[in-house]
């Protein structure tokens, strides 16, 4: 394979996918041939999605989210269920590979070699470097055959995507119509209507307020509530004293020495990042590479200027203002290519530009620290605390399980007496209630909604175990009128005001038909019309607090026409002064960009449909036990 890589020439196909493939290689499951058997998350036709592949893909996705969202990343990762999204992405990749094979597509050895030859990570001074390739394989602990087989799948999927795009092109006439519309220049005059312009004082009669309450009782309803009697147990409440044997401490240390008590090798680094287009644009990627090479030449001549150049040119907002300083980083915290480049440097040296999923990096090594193993005596207290917490938690869970069984035949009083606890009767509560000794009752309230009065149970609440008996269920009911009268009057008044404003706007819309009507309205409002000039494609029009709906409605006018434009609680009267369609003369560059964008959008829709159809018919088997353990949902 290496000799073939050295001797090949570029092909059109390689050029078209190289910018995608460099990222696919870093993201796709390149470890999928390790840990055979039980570590398979799913099998898609002939393709297995293995745990190592998933973990590597998840690391990449997690790091990218953290780079983009900083301190908010962890919360966002949980909200977006990143694990399930990554797994779904890997399943889709496998479905694409299966579809490509069924369509008779293949990646030849020559195409594979040409693509590998073009990957900047494997190059030195623009040429393929076998040593870098072998170093990469050593770092990921794979043979060239295993890696290239998996990489071939990535290329095969890319080939299918390219084919779909080439065989379902949008017509030039349609692109021209969209371009002309987007580039249409609209000139208009604007009057903004404030609700205050139409409001009159509203004074409701008592019977109107009562009527609003009678017709809208759902707005003033108290939720279902529950009453229980209960007692709680914390870990320290159970009678038996806990102790941790010395042997258990030693065993825990031995088992976790290499992971928990060994500090990984670390390095102090600076970097300068030049981002590449995420849509795979080859020209943009090449421009970033050229700029990186230019900066690298300056740094070779003046290494001490690294901080200054990073502040000026780096596109990593987290480190640029600190001269590119990343601080001390443990191996494995950044993308693997970064670790590999740092491993080849001595303190003070600057790396040649290298490509990751974020863009081109130039890095400077400031210092290194070797791995450090903490001795047993240093961590003995920490281990004892960990084992004590685990043992206490297990004991409390065991008590909870046994208590649940006993409550089927025994009284709550019996359990409370054994633990020397007094029973407490709660006030009526719902999911939004908080009680001083119980905290948030959202989960308990939801649990009790489905259970009859008299139910006894055990649950976990605020870090404690709660044994309870359901005494009473109070159904949802409207709050008494007297209790919510002030709130009802406020709602009723707002509703009446909105009704009057809507009626007046409807009347106004029937009155303004001509430029003369527009001028008369401006005079009555004592408001000079605001001149606007914008294009249909503009995402926002300056001075207009509406979204794309505004452009769409104004575009539908002919010069001289007047229209009331409403939306997002805003009301405008617009007179269109001029409308100049976009010109297609000379095939402007933007037209080609739009054509590519529309074709990409259509390809994405077609590929999504293709994957959905394939998912229905393909033989996909899931390791549900492992997926459940990892908290991964199938259909994210």
Domains 224-244+377-475 and 262-373 belong to one CATH topology:
yes
pLDDT tens-digit map of 321-373: 999 999 999 888 888 899 999 999 999 999 999 998 889 999 999 999 988 88
Q: Is a pLDDT exceeding 50 seen at residue 625?
A: yes
CA 191 to centroid of chain Cα atoms: 40
Owner of token pair 């489905």: 450
The residue extents of the domains of the chain are 2-169+597-629, 185-198+483-580, 224-244+377-475, 262-373
Query: In this structure, what DSSP letter does residue 409 have?
Result: T
Question: In the beta sheet, which residues pair with residue 50?
Answer: 40
- Which residue has better confidence, 538 or 463? 538
CA dist., res. 296 & res. 362, Å (int): 7
Q: What CA–CA distance (Å, rounded) separates 93 from 44?
A: 10
| CA–CA dist 9, 111 (Å, integer) | 10
Identify the CA nearest to 229 among candidates 412, 364, 14: 412
Domain range 224-244+377-475, CATH architecture: Roll (3.10)
What average pLDDT does the segment 603-619 reach?
81
Strand runs labelled E in 348-500:
354-356, 359-369, 372-373, 424-425, 434-435, 439-440, 456-461, 464-474, 477-478
pLDDT tens readout for residues 454-475: 999 999 887 789 999 999 999 9
Second CATH level (architecture) for the domain 262-373: Roll (3.10)
Q: What is the 8-class DSSP label of residue 516?
A: H
CB 397 within 8 A of CB 460: no
Helix, coil or strand: residue 126:
coil
The overall average pLDDT reported for the chain is 84
CATH number of this structure's domain 2-169+597-629, picked from the four choices 1.10.4160.10, 1.10.3720.10, 3.40.50.620, 1.10.4030.10: 1.10.4030.10
Percent of the chain at pLDDT above 90? 37
Confidence label for 628 from pLDDT (cuts 50, 70 and 90) = confident
Residue 23 has pLDDT above 70, yes or no: no
Enclosing H/E stretch for 628 = helix 624-629
* DSSP string for residues in 227-278: EEEEEEE-GGGSSSPP---HHHHHHHHHHHTTTTSEEPPEEEEEEEEEE--T
First-to-last C-alpha distance (Å) of the chain: 38
Q: Which residues of 481-497 are buried (b: 16+ CB within 10 A; e: fewer)?
A: eeebeeebbebbbeeeb
- Beta-bridged to residue 535, according to DSSP, are 185
Residues 601 and 186: beta-carbon distance below 8 Å: no
Which backbone phi and psi does 114 adopt, to 5 degrees? -60, -40
């Amino acid at each position: 394979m290496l000799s073939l890589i050295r001797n090949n020439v570029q092909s059109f196909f390689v050029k078209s996918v190289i910018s995608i493939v460099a990222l696919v290689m870093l993201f796709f499951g390149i470890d999928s041939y390790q840990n055979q058997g039980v570590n398979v998350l799913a099998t898609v036709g002939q393709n297995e999605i293995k745990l190592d592949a998933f973990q590597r893909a998840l690391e990449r996705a997690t790091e990218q989210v953290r780079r983009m969202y900083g301190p908010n990343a962890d919360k966002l990762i949980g909200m977006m269920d990143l694990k399930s999204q990554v797994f779904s992405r890997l399943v889709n990749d496998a479905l694409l590979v299966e579809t490509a094979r069924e369509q008779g597509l293949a990646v030849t050895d020559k195409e594979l070699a040409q693509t590998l030859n073009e990957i900047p990570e494997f190059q030195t001074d623009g040429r393929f470097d076998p040593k870098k390739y072998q170093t990469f394989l050593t770092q990921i602990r794979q043979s060239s055959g295993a890696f290239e087989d998996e990489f071939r799948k990535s290329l095969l999927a890319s080939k299918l995507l390219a084919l779909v795009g080439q065989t379902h092109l949008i017509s030039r006439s349609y692109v021209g119509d969209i371009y002309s519309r987007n580039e249409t220049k609209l000139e208009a005059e604007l009057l903004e209507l404030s609700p205050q312009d139409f409001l009159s004082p509203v004074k409701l009669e008592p019977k109107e307020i009562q009527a609003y309450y009678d017709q809208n009782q759902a707005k003033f309803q108290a939720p279902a509530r529950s009453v229980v009697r209960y007692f709680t147990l914390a870990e320290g409440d159970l009678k038996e004293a806990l102790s941790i044997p010395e042997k258990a401490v030693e065993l825990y240390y031995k088992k976790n020495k290499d992971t928990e008590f060994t500090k990984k090798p670390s390095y102090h680094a600076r970097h300068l990042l030049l981002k590449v287009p995420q849509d795979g644009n080859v020209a943009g990627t090449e421009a970033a590479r050229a700029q990186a090479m230019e900066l690298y030449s300056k740094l070779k001549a003046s290494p001490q200027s690294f901080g200054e150049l990073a502040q000026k040119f780096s596109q990593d907002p987290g480190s640029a203002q600190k001269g590119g300083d990343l601080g001390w980083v443990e191996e494995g915290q950044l993308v693997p290519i970064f670790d590999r480049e740092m491993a080849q440097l001595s303190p003070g040296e600057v790396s040649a530009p290298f490509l990751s999923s974020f863009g081109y990096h130039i890095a400077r090594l400031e210092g290194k620290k070797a791995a450090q193993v903490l001795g047993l005596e240093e961590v003995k207290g920490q281990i004892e605390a960990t084992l004590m917490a685990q043992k206490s938690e297990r004991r409390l869970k065991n008590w909870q399980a046994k208590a649940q069984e006993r409550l089927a035949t025994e009284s709550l009083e019996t359990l409370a007496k054994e633990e020397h606890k007094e029973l407490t009767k709660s006030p009526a509560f719902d999911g939004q209630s908080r009680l001083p000794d119980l905290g948030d009752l959202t989960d308990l309230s939801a649990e009790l909604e489905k259970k009859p009065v008299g139910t006894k149970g055990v649950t976990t609440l605020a870090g404690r175990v709660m044994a309870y008996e359901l005494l009473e269920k109070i159904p949802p009911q409207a709050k008494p009128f007297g209790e919510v009268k002030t709130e009802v009057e406020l709602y009723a008044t707002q509703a009446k005001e909105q009704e009057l404003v809507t009626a007046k706007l409807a009347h106004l819309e029937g009155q303004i038909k001509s430029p003369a009507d527009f001028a008369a309205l401006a005079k009555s409002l004592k408001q000079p019309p605001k001149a606007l000039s914008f294009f249909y494609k503009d995402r926002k029009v300056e001075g207009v607090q509406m979204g794309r709906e505004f452009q769409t409605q104004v575009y539908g006018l002919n010069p001289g026409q007047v229209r009331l434009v409403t939306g997002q609680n805003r009301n405008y009267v617009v007179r269109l002064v001029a409308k100049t369609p976009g010109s297609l003369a000379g095939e402007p560059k933007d037209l080609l960009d739009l054509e590519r964008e529309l074709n990409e959008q259509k390809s994405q829709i077609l590929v999504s449909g293709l994957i959905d159809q394939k998912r229905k018919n393909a033989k996909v088997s899931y390791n549900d036990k492992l997926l459940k353990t990892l908290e991964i949902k199938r259909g994210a």
